[in-house]
Chains A and B, each alone.
Chain A
Amino acid sequence: MAMMRVRNLSKSFTLHGQGGIVLSVLNNISLDIMAGECVVLRGASGCGKSTLLRSMYANYKPQSGSIAVCHQGFWVDILSAAPRIVLEVRRRTLGYVSQFLRVIPRVSSLDVVAEPLRNIGIDAPSARARAAAMLERLNVPERLWPLAPATFSGGEQQRVNIARGFIAQSPILLLDEPTASLDAENRAAVIALIGDAKACGTAIVGIFHDEDVQRCLGTRQFDVAQARLT
């Protein structure tokens, strides 16, 4: 079952501050993402993998094309939908794990992870309990849970970030190098988590530089550079 349909997507950046240079990054890309598959975005650095992934989250604004997301049984084009609709699609259907955690001052790691659940109406005790289980699964030491993640190491922050991204069990997940700053043991924990989500039918699109991770998880590859040429 298709969960996301990208059609004729084109994206360029116009740099007004630098003489109006236009950088064309994505050109007429079409791609379907099915439930239960993990599509690995490939291509050399700078070919537009992150741009495509961010466009799929409506974080970037492509000039043309459409991105239809299957949201609670209805197709929603997130490129043309109103902001509040996009936010609702993100809350319930479309998750994104960025490379770096955006830290909010004073909010504890446990609450950072529980927040996506709170946003879909789950009460605080249940949300915190699930957040605790998720942090435990990702080997984040319990003594860190009450602390704001600002002072954590890169790997710890990244695991908090992944926990936050996976907690709501979104039917579609976009992953931008989730294993980049992790050691072998933690990488294995994250691979297992992604693998479980995939087995449960989550549609996954990811950028993974690590060949091992690609082999473990990828059901198919999509070459962004080549797609751009055609």
Chain B
Amino acid sequence: MIELEPPLLTIESLSKLYGRNVACGNVSFDLWAGEVLCIVGESGSGKTTLLNCMNGTLAPSSGRILYRTRHMGLVDVATMGDAHKRLLMRTDWGIVHQNPRDGLRMGVSAGANVGERLMAVGARHYGDIRSQAMDWLNRVEIEVDRIDDLPGVFSGGMQQRLQIARNLVTKPRLVFMDEPTGGLDVSVQARLLDLLRALVQELQLAAVIVTHDLAVARVLADRLFVMKGGEIVENGLTDQVLDDPQHPYTQLLVSSILQV
């Protein structure tokens, strides 16, 4: 089993300080194409800070974020120009926010929300854009006749699915998600999880997902990081970390799950 393919994303000694507070400290790891990584930890553990540093929306205090692009070779996201970063974010990357209102344009229709990403990468043919938007609404289980509705009239679960469609329509290779199932009813959550699981498999997406829900991590993730106080205290294969946790904090986390 000789591996020739280099990692898609390499994080080197990434730190983010707020004054003297370490929000996340000295994080290093590789992520390969098609790999799904979940970061779990309690509120304030630094998981969202780490995610936002990785996806270029927050400038790290130190460290490098090396991403292997399709056309420009290896780039350091921490130091790249804003124009390049924006291009990367709307082509090869997806960013799914916890609150769909942060990731959608609420003033334009569902179809336009999906089509806009396509136009940003150069699609111009109206008929093509509309048919791709319809296809994606269908894939995320939104009735196609809602294509001209504004996202504001959708339920929370539908908005979240629309946000996912908007992000995936350009066939990104890497998606960042912050609590994608947070704030949704459990039944809606199950549907979204099932959908995400299928899409990640089908599109061979790499993903970094922040969640505080260990059940979400078990269903979606190949690998799991457990964060506490800005540090990764445990990492490994998802089922290994959950079934045989080593660190005291992970043991506490796992033993705190309520059995239904």
Closest chain B residue, CB of each to CB of A11: B244
**Chain B 25-39 interface 0/1 with A at a Cβ cutoff of 8 Å (1 = within):** 000000010010000
CB of A89, distance to nearest CB on chain B (Å): 9
Could you tell me which residues of chain A, from 38 to 60, have a CB within 8 Å of some CB in chain B? 54, 58-60
Number of A residues with CB within 8 Å of any CB on chain B: 26
Number of B residues with CB within 8 Å of any CB on chain A: 25
A to B CB contacts below 8 Å, 12 in the list: A15-B251, A16-B251, A54-B244, A59-B240, A83-B35, A83-B222, A83-B236, A83-B238, A85-B1, A86-B237, A105-B193, A106-B194
Q: Is the CB of B255 within 8 A of A17?
A: yes
Assess whether A107 is interfacial by the CB under 8 Å rule. Answer: yes
Contact of A83 among B223, B244, B248, B252 (CB under 8 A): B223
Could you tell me which residues of chain B, from 8 to 41, have a CB within 8 Å of some CB in chain A? 32, 35
Work out how many contacts link A and B, with CB atoms closer than 8 A: 58
Residues from chain A with a CB closer than 8 A to the CB of B1 are 71-72, 74, 76, 85, 88
CB of A29, distance to nearest CB on chain B (Å): 17
Given A74-B1, A87-B237, CB of A59 within 8 Å of CB of B244: yes
- CA distance in complex: A76, B219 (Å): 26
Q: Is the CB of A61 within 8 A of B193?
A: no
- CA distance in complex: A130, B217 (Å): 29
CB of A10, distance to nearest CB on chain B (Å): 14
Assess whether B243 is interfacial by the CB under 8 Å rule. Answer: yes
Given A17-B255, A105-B190, A118-B201, CB of A84 within 8 Å of CB of B244: no
Assess whether B79 is interfacial by the CB under 8 Å rule. Answer: no
Q: Is the CB of B222 within 8 A of A17?
A: no
- CA distance in complex: A66, B222 (Å): 22
Q: Which 3 A-B pairs have the closest CB atoms?
A: A16-B248, A105-B190, A60-B244
Assess whether A104 is interfacial by the CB under 8 Å rule. Answer: yes
Assess whether B239 is interfacial by the CB under 8 Å rule. Answer: yes
**Chain A 67-111 interface 0/1 with B at a Cβ cutoff of 8 Å (1 = within):** 000011010100000011111100000000000000011110000
- CA distance in complex: A17, B248 (Å): 7
Given A83-B222, A84-B222, A87-B237, CB of A17 within 8 Å of CB of B251: yes
